[in-house]
Structure 1
Amino acid sequence: MVVLKSRFDKRVKKDTFNKNGKRKEIKYVWVASNKAIFLVTAEAKESKYSYSAPIIPLHGIYYSSKDRKKYTAKELNDYFVVLNVRKDDQLVYYLKKGVVVIIGYSEDNVLIVYDEENGEGNGSDS
């Protein structure tokens, strides 16, 4: 007798739930401001005209074309946010898991602190 088992995983990622234990609503957004900061939480996926990647918005204004409304990063706290980026945009190359993306700020205005205890130095050979 052959038994076929489904590979359906009943576990759901913790970040898809809000504080009440209900599943978060998904918002598909575009960057709508000249300055934005966000954390990419997974690898980007390719679609017909764009790439999309789940993010945690930290700063900036984002536009939802479905709702035809602009949201600040704070307003998107209660949503699971997916950022859309056009295929020909240079931003596509930086959408990798765990990367903090900073748009619109000069290098003089950004401070990067390295953790040398865990082996993450400034890239110099010491």
Structure 2
Amino acid sequence: MAADTAEGFARSFALGWLAQDTATLGQLFAEDADFLSLTGDWAEGRAAIERTLKAEFKGAFARARLVTGRAKLRMLGPGAAVVHQRFVLSGVLNADGSDGGRIATVLMAVVTRLGPGWVAVSAQFTAES
């Protein structure tokens, strides 16, 4: 299901992430959306985005949790916006199974109104330096 508002996109993403619900996360993206994941995978299209997230949830992010930080919204017009959302990611697993510690991350998404909701046409979820 698409986010109700442009402002609500990041919250919807966080809820889907915490539930590790790739189908719900997929619905936050346009059918032909692009997504650059935390592991550096560039997924093209909703199905590829869901596959990428599913693989990440089985690996490094199997126990991951997000804590919401600062957010910023820039409206580009009545039906388009850029969303920035900081998160702190914890519970990341290193390849050897040890705790990867906390990671500062940023979700940046270009969202558009599609029917009654808002979906990302392009998004990056990356580590912040």
TM (norm. structure 2) is 0.27
CA radius of gyration, larger in: 1
Which structure is higher in helix share? 2
TM-score (norm 1): 0.27
Which structure dedicates a bigger proportion of its chain to strand? 2
